[in-house]
Amino acid sequence: MQDATGADAGGGLLAGRIAAVTGGAQGLGAAIARRFRQEGASVVTLDIAGGDIACDVTQEAQVAAAFAGIAARHGRLDVLVANAGLVPPWRELTALDMAEWDRVFAVNVRGVALCLKHAVPLMPAGGAVVAMGSIMSERGAARQALYNATKHAVLGIVRVAAQELGPRGIRVNALGPGPVATEALRGRVAARAASGLGPAPEAALAAHDAETPLGRAATEEEVAKAALFLASDLASAVTGRLLRVDGGLE
Q: Which amino acid is at 73?
A: R
Residue 7 clears pLDDT 70, i.e. is over it = no
Task: Count other C-beta atoms under 10 Å from residue 196's C-beta.
Answer: 6
Task: Place 199 in a pLDDT band, splitting at 50, 70 and 90.
Answer: confident
- Measured distance CA(119)–CA(60) in Å, rounded: 12
User: Rounded to an integer, what distance in angstroms lies between the CA atom of residue 70 and that of residue 163?
Assistant: 25
Residues 37-73 have pLDDT tens digits of 999 999 999 999 999 999 999 999 999 999 999 999 9
Active-site hit among 36, 90, 105, 147: 147
Share of the chain above pLDDT 90, in %: 80
- Would you state the pLDDT for residue 5? 44
Which pLDDT value is given to residue 10? 63
- DSSP 8-state symbol, 91: B
Q: What is the mean pLDDT of residues 4-32?
A: 86
From residue 8, give the alpha-carbon distance in Å to each of 37, 142, 166: 6, 44, 29
- Enumerate the β-bridge partners of residue 244: 176
Specify the pTM: 0.91
pLDDT score for 2: 45
d(CA 147, CA 9): 39
- For residue 95, pLDDT over 90 is answered with yes
Query: Which carries the bigger pLDDT value, residue 192 or residue 247?
Result: 247
Q: Please, what is the average pLDDT of the chain?
A: 93
Predicted local confidence at residue 250, as pLDDT: 80
Examine the residue annotation and report whether 119 is marked as an active-site residue of this protein. Answer: no
Mutual orientation of helices 145-165 and 98-105 as an angle, nearest 10°? 30
Q: Between vectors from CA 4 to CA 60 and to CA 27, what angle results, nearest 5°? A: 50
**What's the whole-number mean pLDDT along residues 98-103?**
98
- Between CA 136 and CA 241 the distance in angstroms is 14
Domains along the sequence of the chain with CATH = 18-178+219-245 (3.40.50.720), 181-217 (no CATH)
Three-state secondary structure string covering 148-169: HHHHHHHHHHHHHHHHHHHHHC
Q: Residue 80: phi, psi to the nearest 5?
A: -115, 125
Q: Does position 168 have pLDDT exceeding 50, yes or no?
A: yes
